[in-house]
Amino acid sequence: MAQYSRVSGNVGLITLQNPPVNALSAAVRQGIVDTVKRALGDPEVKSVVICGQNGVFCGGADIREFGTHMTGPPLVPMIHAIEMADKPVVAAIEGVALGGGLELALGCHYRIAHTKAKVGLPEVTLGLLPAAGGTQRLPRLTGLPAAIALITTGRQITTAEALKLSIVDQVTDYSAVDTAVKFAKSVAERSLDGRRVSERPCPCPPDVDALFEAAMQKVRQSARGAIAPVACVQALQAAATMPYALGMQREKELMATLFTSGQARALQYSFFAQRAVGRWSLPSGARWDGSKPRPIRKTAVIGLGTMGRGITVSLAQAGLSVIAVEAQEKPLKEAQQAISGMLQRGAKRRGGAPPLDLITYSANLQAVADVDLVIEAVFEDVALKKQLFQHLSAICKPEAFLCTNTSALDIDLLASQSRHPELVVGMHFFAPAHVMKLLEVVHGSRSSPEAVATAMNLGKQMGKVGVAVGNCHGFVGNRMLKPYLEQGLFLLEEGATPEMVDGALEEFGFAMGLFRMSDLSGIDVGWRVRKGEGLVQPGASVRVRQGRRYSPLGDLLYEQGRFGQKTGRGWYRYDNRHEAKPDPWLNNFLEDYRARHGLAARRIECQEVLERCLYTLINEGFRILEEGIAAGPEDIDVIYVLGYGWPKHRGGPMYYASMVGLIKVLERLEHYLRAHPDVPSLQPCSLLRRLVASGSPPIHKWRKIIKKTQSHL
Q: Which residues are marked as active site?
A: 103, 123
Q: Is 513 helix (H, G, I), strand (E, B) or coil?
A: coil
Nearest CA-CA partner of 587 in 489, 488, 487, 498: 498
In DSSP terms, which residues pair with 52 in a beta bridge? 16
The rounded distance, in Å, linking the Cα atoms of 552 and 538 is: 10
CB of 75 to ligand LFKQWZQV, least distance (A): 5
How is 111-163 classified by DSSP, letter by letter?
EEEETT-EEE-GGGGGT---TTTHHHHHHHHH-HHHHHHHHHH---EEHHHHH
Nearest CA-CA partner of 672 in 623, 622, 616: 616
How is 166-224 classified by DSSP, letter by letter?
TSSSEEESS-HHHHHHHHHHHTTTS--TTT-GGGS-----TTHHHHHHHHHHHHHHHTT
**In this structure, are residues 121 and 99 in contact, taking their beta carbons and an 8 Å threshold?**
yes
CB of 652 to ligand LFKQWZQV, least distance (A): 17
65 vs 334 by CB, closer to ligand LFKQWZQV: 65
Determine whether 449 is exposed, middle or buried from the number of CB atoms within 10 Å of its CB (0-12, 13-18, 19+). Answer: buried
131 vs 557 by CB, closer to ligand LFKQWZQV: 131
275 vs 333 by CB, closer to ligand LFKQWZQV: 275
Cis status, amide bond into 432, omega within 30 of 0: yes
21 vs 451 by CB, closer to ligand LFKQWZQV: 21
CB of 635 to ligand LFKQWZQV, least distance (A): 15
CB of 52 to ligand LFKQWZQV, least distance (A): 11
Which residues 6+ apart lie within 8 Å of 385 measured at CB? 376, 378, 404, 406, 409, 414
CB of 23 to ligand LFKQWZQV, least distance (A): 4
The rounded distance, in Å, linking the Cα atoms of 625 and 606 is: 28
The rounded distance, in Å, linking the Cα atoms of 499 and 519 is: 12
Residues that bind ligand LFKQWZQV (CB under 6 A): 20-21, 23, 59-64, 75, 96, 98-100, 122-123, 126, 128, 130-132, 272, 275
CB of 123 to ligand LFKQWZQV, least distance (A): 5
CB of 15 to ligand LFKQWZQV, least distance (A): 17
253 vs 422 by CB, closer to ligand LFKQWZQV: 253
The rounded distance, in Å, linking the Cα atoms of 646 and 649 is: 9
98 vs 232 by CB, closer to ligand LFKQWZQV: 98
**In this structure, are residues 574 and 580 in contact, taking their beta carbons and an 8 Å threshold?**
yes
The rounded distance, in Å, linking the Cα atoms of 649 and 627 is: 28
Which segments of 286-437 are extended strands (E)?
A: 298-302, 321-325, 359-362, 373-376, 401-404, 424-429
In DSSP terms, which residues pair with 57 in a beta bridge? none
The rounded distance, in Å, linking the Cα atoms of 647 and 627 is: 26
Cis status, amide bond into 73, omega within 30 of 0: no
CB of 57 to ligand LFKQWZQV, least distance (A): 10
Which segments of 484-583 are extended strands (E)?
A: 544-545, 548-549
CB of 461 to ligand LFKQWZQV, least distance (A): 12
Helix axis angle, 208-222 to 228-241, nearest 10°? 170
60 vs 633 by CB, closer to ligand LFKQWZQV: 60
252 vs 548 by CB, closer to ligand LFKQWZQV: 252
486 vs 637 by CB, closer to ligand LFKQWZQV: 637
The rounded distance, in Å, linking the Cα atoms of 243 and 280 is: 50
Using the Cα atoms of residue 550, residue 556, residue 558 and residue 563 in order, give the sign of their dihedral.
negative
CB of 118 to ligand LFKQWZQV, least distance (A): 7
End-to-end CA distance of the chain: 47
CB of 63 to ligand LFKQWZQV, least distance (A): 4
62 vs 372 by CB, closer to ligand LFKQWZQV: 62
The rounded distance, in Å, linking the Cα atoms of 358 and 23 is: 38
88 vs 154 by CB, closer to ligand LFKQWZQV: 154
**In this structure, are residues 141 and 201 in contact, taking their beta carbons and an 8 Å threshold?**
no
CB of 655 to ligand LFKQWZQV, least distance (A): 17
User: Cα–chain-centroid distance for residue 100?
Assistant: 22
CB of 100 to ligand LFKQWZQV, least distance (A): 3
The rounded distance, in Å, linking the Cα atoms of 242 and 248 is: 9
256 vs 431 by CB, closer to ligand LFKQWZQV: 256
Element (H, E) at 443: strand 438-443
75 vs 489 by CB, closer to ligand LFKQWZQV: 75
For ligand LFKQWZQV, which residue has the nearest CB? Answer: 99
Which residues 6+ apart lie within 8 Å of 175 measured at CB? 94, 114
